Every structure is written in structure tokens, then in C-alpha cells.
Structure 1
Amino acid sequence: MKKIILTGFLGVFLLITSCNKFLEETPTDFVAPANYYTNEKEVFSALAGVYDILGKTGTYGRYLFFEMDMSDESYFGLSSTSQDIALLNYDIGDTKLLTTWSLLYEGINRANMLLENIDKADMPDNLREVYRGEALFLRAYYYFVLTTNWGRIPLRLSSTKTPSDVDMAPATYTEIYGQIASDMETAADKVADITTFNNAGRVSKSAVWGVLARVNLKMAGAPLRDISRYAEAKKWAEKVINFGYHRLNADYSQVFKNHAQGVYDTRESIWEVEFSYISGAQHEEGMVGSINGIGTSNTTVGYSYGAQRVMKPYYDLFDEDDERRDWNINTYTYATAPSTAQVPYAAGTAAIIYNRYASKWRREFEVSPQKSTNTTVINFPLLRYADVLLMYAEADNMLPGNRSTQADEYVNMVRRRAFGKLKAGATDIEAADLSPGLDEVLFQQAIQKERSFELGFEGLRRFDLIRWGTYILTMENLRTYKASANSSYQFGFRTVENISDRDTLFAIPRNEMTVNKLMEQNNGW
């Protein structure tokens, strides 16, 4: 096994398998690292290879926002499947987990190779530092995804060159998060302003600052519980806000229509995974809107498996005037092709609510030269400005002393948009605001709900519940709702029936345990 892996690392290096929308480079075939990184074009192509990991099926093409984010918002609706990580019914040989694990480490190794070779390239120094910053950030981001899902993992900061490199003990949480924060902070000084780009696919200062806020909130919560990090989270979120460029799109639904239409609003959607299809050339498609989305076999509007179904308790939490409810959770299905007519649901019984879909991304708005049955070109957001505002408010609320007025205002900005109060002609703007004078506990509870309303189905809910220390209890409490679901959809409750204390982390894949003799398995496996 080690010999096979080593051959892959030493013999050749795959620069990229495809390009993202911000790239115009032709994909490079297999080349020896010693003969590459000689000029700016080659370095940029190598950097594209680091980005490329983001759009794979095992990452944000599907698994990270679907199977690996089952929570109290939705359930796994593919009833033909009885064993899956989404059902928390799997073993350490699960191929989906291995795919995601392997892809993230592949991205890390690509970043390491670029960082080791970038100084030998003949290129302008200013571009060299920008590319270095992007590679540092992406390496740190891949480690962040790894540790939030698997806990203590090997911290590989140089490319794999010898058989002994494969064996590495897991680092401590302090070491892992320290490296993540350090790399991202270094990257923040090197990458370009977001106004430099005409798309959201590149890592910008705003993206780094915002993700640093997320990283520090995680460090303040489980498992580190370093409450000093709340001040850091607030600081980095404040940098995004004070930059002065970002704002909320007045129409919540338009944010996600833009993702489908290939329209970039970088004031709101700060960092995205980009997907594209160019006939005969570029094939970088994902499953945003096809594995989730409004389930339909109508290929005129766009086929969707509709595999992400909605939990009724989540639906019930929304205020009926909150526009996010009927966008995130569909109120209609589609007629038979070739018609594109919408067919409204009947009155909302419990069974009908459970039959609804996570519909944030709708293929009827997708702009594509071809509408594939399985895949789409709909972009996936990794960081939105609304998230930054809510992170600032949460961090500020958790600091000693009185909460700032800005914290309340930033939450209210998000809520006003949700209730249509940012649209032209809106009146009674403050009617959407939180009740004034909430204490620290009630304000935190309000933020926890607000994050779910605003960021539902964006791959963040499980992450949030775990860092708050409430994931297991929240999921266990859903068991009481099984009886109210239509029998056809009680299948989805297997996730909450299967959950146990071990499920705050996924199992370390069997392949890693076999190859890496120093690796340690997570508790319960």
C-alpha cells in the first residue's frame, strides 16, 4: 500500500483536472515537480490545482453540504439506501468518508508542493506573494475542514517524499488550530482585496478575514473552549464590516438565484466554489440543486433527486412572514415536462411539510448550455456577508461586559432583509427587529436560531451545533417527532435514531488506519 501511494507522490504530480470559472488555463497533464514552477503561468496553474479540490463530489460538489451535514434542518431522503454516513449508519470502510479525507489531504499536498517550489519561479514578486497567500490559506482551510469533521489529524506541512512520511501521529488540537490560525493570518496580509476580482472564486482579504472569524468561534467552542478567541472572532469579522465594501442584497432569494445564474454579487457572497461546463473543454460541475433542490424528473426546469428533505420542527420555527422560510423550503413542485408550470402544495399538514425539499438552489434559474440530469453549474457559497454579521454579534455577546449596540444592529440587519424590509418601498422597518434588551443567554439563543434560518442547508448547521456542544441532544430531541411524519418519510428519522456520543466526529477511514501506523481511531470506533 505504501509503495503504491509513494509512487503517486514521487513519480508525477497532477496539477489540475479541470479549471474553475476564474481560470482560463488549459489543464496541465502529469509533470515532474522538479521540472515545473519555472514561471508565473506554471505557478498559477499549480495554484488552480489547489483550488480544484473545493469542487469535487467528495467536498463541496456534494458530500460536505449534504451527507456530512445532516442536522435538525433536514433528513436524508434516499429511502433506497439503508447504510450511509447521512444516516449515521456506516463503518470505517465507508467510501464517502475516505473520498473526502483523501481529497482534503490531496489539496494539502498540492499546496505544500507549491509553497516549497514557488520561490524558484521567474515571476513578479508581488504576484508570488499573492499566490503564496492563497496557497497558505487553502492549506489551512482544508485542515480546518478535516479537524472539524475528524478531530485530531496528522499535520502535514511538507509534501510527501519518502515512505516514512506516510506514518505520522495526530497532532494536538492546540497544534492544529494554532497552525490554521497562523497560516490564515499570514495569508490575510498577502492575498488581494476582493475588489480586485470580478468573481467570488478567488480567495480575497475579505474571505480570509471572514473565515478567521469562523475559525476563532470554533476555537472558542468545542473542543478547545478557549473563550479568549471570542475577541479574535469579533476582530476578524469587524475587519470585513469596516472594509466598507460589503452589504446585504436586499432580496434574500436573489442571493441564490445569482449562484444559479452565474451572477457575482461579491458584496454579499464573498467566497464561492465555482462550477462550470464548457462543451468539449471545461467540465467542473457539482450537484448543488440536483442532489438537493425541489425533487422533480422534469428536465426542462432541471432534474433534481430532491434527496434533502425538510424536518417539520425546522419549518415550524420560522415566523410566517419570514421570507426565508418559503425560499429555503419549497411551496410548490413542477408539472410534467415540457411544461415549466409550478404546482402549489395543498394546505400544510405535517406529512406534507416532511415531503418538502431543501430548495435554496432551484434549477429553474440555472443558466447552463446543457442541463445534465446529475450535475449542475450552480455555485456554492462558502462565506456570505450575513454570516459575518451574525458571527460578529455572537462573538461580541460572549465577551465580558455589556454587549455593544452594533451586535444587536447587525442581527437586525439580517432580520430586516429576511422580512422584506430592505426592499424598495418597505415600511415599518424596525418591525423585524429582535426584542430590545435581551440578556446574554436570550441573545445567544436568538443568534442560534437566526443562523439556522439564514444559513440553512449551507453546510454549517452541524458545525454550529457541535461547537455549541448541543448537537447530540438536539438530534435526540427530534425522536419525538417521528410519529407525526408520513410513514413514507419516517425513513429519514434513522439519522436521529442512530445518533450517539461518538457522532460529533466521523470515523478515521480504514485506509488511513492501515497505511499510517501512528494514527489513532476516534472514540467509539
Structure 2
Amino acid sequence: MKLYKNITFGLLALTLGGVVASCSDFLDEKLTTQQTTDFFDTPEGIDQLAVGIYNNLRFHFFKENAYTTTNYGTDEFTVGGDGSNKVWNNYDGSFQSQIVAANSNTTMAESLWDAMYIGINNANLLLSKITPDSYTGTNKKTYMGEAYFLRGFNYLKLVSQYGGVPLKLESSFVPVREFTRATAEATVEQAIGDLKNAYDLLPATVSMVGKISRDAAAHFLAKAYLFRASEINDGWNSTTKESDLKEALKLAKEVISRHQLAPNFSDLWHYTEPDGASEKLDEIILSAQFSSDKSSRSAGTNRCHLFFFVCLQ
């Protein structure tokens, strides 16, 4: 019986081996559904990369972490009903570098950090592909402005939350485990430099809703100047405070002169449908774009308009 089994398995192995050998004569497969980073060396790849970096803006709108890492602990927002993010608002002993999750909705300490550096890495990649003279596309200045804006915007968010952070100005393609933490002064200087570059490169008017404009750069550049002039930085900002306040005022006036406030403050939250009228009000300077397509529905969809009730008249 044992001999019979051995003979059977041997014949089966020979049969399968013959099939594989015969198939190799006519199957010549070529992978065409997956890209490598070499794709970003082509004009088409650069165009798609310039669109893809906008995805990073969605972080600030798709979950409660948009508010926990930005507005909690102030008088603008308060804790949600389930208390999953109360440590961000209470600033008690539970607010540590390692936050214990109350449930799956709890925002971890590294949440903003990870998201911002993903955006910074993508911006660095785009800048590395369009800076050389080899790329001469008509959108070169705009793409550079968008990349500089996103990097400066992200560093401003990071320094506001964590103080000085590592300044990463080149893309990483392999894991990097050692970084040097920059000072808050150097981090703010980087954010201001990037936003100034964005201001110089971006167009005054944009072709579609959601595209980053010069006004968006001016607005956040003014915010960066105000941050550097804040009393929180009095230990090192004495030489720049006066000029920063003047620049912030000039930029703010510039943006205000080019935009009209909504007729009613509540109009900004009068959601009716995707890409509706409330999303196209002239008061809106920068907005993250989402899709109403069912295929895009995931944990990354826009939920923030569901968190608040607005009295509409």
C-alpha cells in the first residue's frame, strides 16, 4: 500500500511538472498595473504627483483628530460626547507622549506627526522632480508653489503642536531611524521660507475650486509671522517681532481686499450636496476636496460637517 502511494504521488508530480514546463513555452507575463517611483520622472507622473499631494489636506477634516490636534484645549471647541479624546482638551496627567486609547476614536500623540511628515515627504519628492532643468512643463511654477505651500503649511502645524521638529527637506525611499531635532526658531524659519516661495510662485487666480492660490499662501504666511511674533517665542524673537507684525498686517489686508465675506456666517456650514454652493463661497481661501463617488468612501471621507449643529435662518 505504501509503495502504491509513492508511485501515485510520483506520477502526480511528474504530471504537474510537465504542465508547468509546457506552460512556460507560451505564457510571457508583463506587469502593467503597478507603477514604480520611476513613473515620477515622466511628465505624466509629475502631473499625477502634483494632484496626489493634495490628499494630505484631507487629514484636517476626516476625523475628530482634526480638532483634537488643533483646537482642543481652547475655548473654540470642547470634548465630544464619548470622551474618547478628552485628554487633548483637559491637559491632565493622561496627556503624555504615549496616550492610552479609550476606544478606536482616540487620537494618538503621533497622529499629526505622521500625517504631516507624509505630506512633507511627498512635497519633497515633487520638488526634486521639477527643480532640474529637464522638466519644462507649463505648470512648473505652479507645481513648485503647491509643493512649497504644503511643506510650509505642515511645518507650521508641527511647530505649533510640538515645538522644534526635525527638518526633512529631501524625500526618503528607505527607512531612516536617526534625526536631529531643530529648534522652534529654525522650524518657524523653514515654514516662513517655504510659504514665501509659495507666495512668489502660485497664481493669483486658480482654474478650479480647491486649488492652492497665492491668497492661501499669503494667509498662512501671515499666520506664520504672527506665530513667530507670539509671546510664546519671546525667548528668541526680539529681532524679528516688529517686522513680522508689519508683514502679517500687510498680507492680511491683501487677502481681505480680494475676498468678500459670506452674507451670513452660517452660510459657510450650509451643506446641501457635494460641491454645493457653500463650498464655493468667496470667503473660502483654502479647502480640502473630497469625492461623493461611492468608490472613495472610507475612513478618509469628510465627516467634520456632521460634528456640529448650525442654526440656519
Match in the other structure for 1:37: 41
Q: Residue 160 and residue 240 in structure 1: after superposition, are their counterparts in 2 closer, same or farther (change >3 A)? A: same
Contact 1:246/1:266, CA 8 A, preserved across alignment: no
Report deviation, 1:231.
0.6
TM-score, structure 1 normalization = 0.45
One-letter code aligned to 1:272: S
1:176-224 alpha-carbon deviations (Å, 9 max, x no partner): 1111111111111111223x3331x111011111111111111110432
Match in the other structure for 2:170: 158
- Residue ranges of structure 1 left out of the alignment (5+ in a row): 1-28, 295-326, 331-361, 363-419, 421-525
Contact 2:163/2:183, CA 8 A, preserved across alignment: no
Report deviation, 1:120.
5.8
Q: Distance in 2 between matches of 1:190 and 1:142?
A: 18
Q: Distance in 1 between matches of 2:284 and 2:58?
A: 17
Q: What is the number of residues matched between the two proteins?
A: 261
Match in the other structure for 1:213: 222
Q: Does 1:268 align with 2:283?
A: yes
1:410-459 alpha-carbon deviations (Å, 9 max, x no partner): xxxxxxxxxx9xxxxxxxxxxxxxxxxxxxxxxxxxxxxxxxxxxxxxxx
Q: Does 1:67 align with 2:76?
A: no
1:43-102 alpha-carbon deviations (Å, 9 max, x no partner): 12212332111213xx33234542232222332133464864344334322362222211
Match in the other structure for 2:259: 246
Which has the larger Rg?
2
Contact 2:68/2:85, CA 8 A, preserved across alignment: no
Match for residue 58 of structure 2 among 43, 55, 58: 55
Report deviation, 1:172.
1.4
Q: Distance in 2 between matches of 1:80 and 1:49?
A: 34
Report deviation, 1:271.
0.7
Contact 2:88/2:95, CA 8 A, preserved across alignment: yes
Contact 1:258/1:265, CA 8 A, preserved across alignment: no
One-letter code aligned to 1:202: K
Structure-to-structure mapping, 1:446-525, within 5 angstroms: none
Match in the other structure for 1:167: 178
Contact 1:83/1:90, CA 8 A, preserved across alignment: no
Between the two structures, name the one with larger relative contact order (CA 8 Å, sep ≥ 6).
Answer: 1
- Residue ranges of structure 2 left out of the alignment (5+ in a row): 1-32, 100-106
SS in 1 for 2:302: coil
Match for residue 198 of structure 1 among 178, 187, 208: 208
Match for residue 111 of structure 1 among 112, 116, 123: 123
Contact 2:145/2:198, CA 8 A, preserved across alignment: yes
Report deviation, 1:123.
5.7
Q: Distance in 2 between matches of 1:215 and 1:61?
A: 24
Identity percentage over the alignment?
23
TM-score, structure 2 normalization = 0.74
Match for residue 285 of structure 1 among 290, 301, 305: 301
Q: Distance in 1 between matches of 2:286 and 2:269?
A: 13
Q: Residue 260 and residue 211 in structure 1: after superposition, are their counterparts in 2 closer, same or farther (change >3 A)? A: farther
Contact 2:79/2:86, CA 8 A, preserved across alignment: no
SS in 2 for 1:223: helix
Report deviation, 1:277.
2.1
